[in-house]
Structure 1
Amino acid sequence: MDLITINFQEKLILKKDNKKIVIIAYPNKGFSGISIGVDAPQAISVNREEIFKKKIK
């Protein structure tokens, strides 16, 4: 696993096979943790781990 450090609201861009995924982290006000914005083609599924595991069962 790669660990990449970015600032809040800085874009992390992944590209493969001419498809681009943009990930942006935002501070989550009032809660612990962060909010993640993901812009990906509709054909790419984006899920939290527990949802992903339920889908593959």
Structure 2
Amino acid sequence: MTTTITVEGMTCGHCEQSVEEASGVTDVTVDRESEQASVDGEANVTALVEAVEGAGYTAYA
């Protein structure tokens, strides 16, 4: 399953790790210019948003 979320404030590849480390995530592709992250896996959308926000960024589905 692929989920797309909006992520504000990501500026580098290291920032993307906050999404990759969420439980159930198998792959993440981030387009920092459009502020979109496409996440593959069985992760709950709420868990993805919480993981990103826990790392200090703004996220919403």
TM-score (norm 1): 0.31
Q: Using CA pairs under 8 Å that are at least 6 residues apart, name the structure with larger relative contact order, 1 or 2.
A: 2
- The structure that has the greater radius of gyration is 1
Q: What is the TM-score when the length of structure 2 is the normalising length?
A: 0.30
Higher helix share: 2
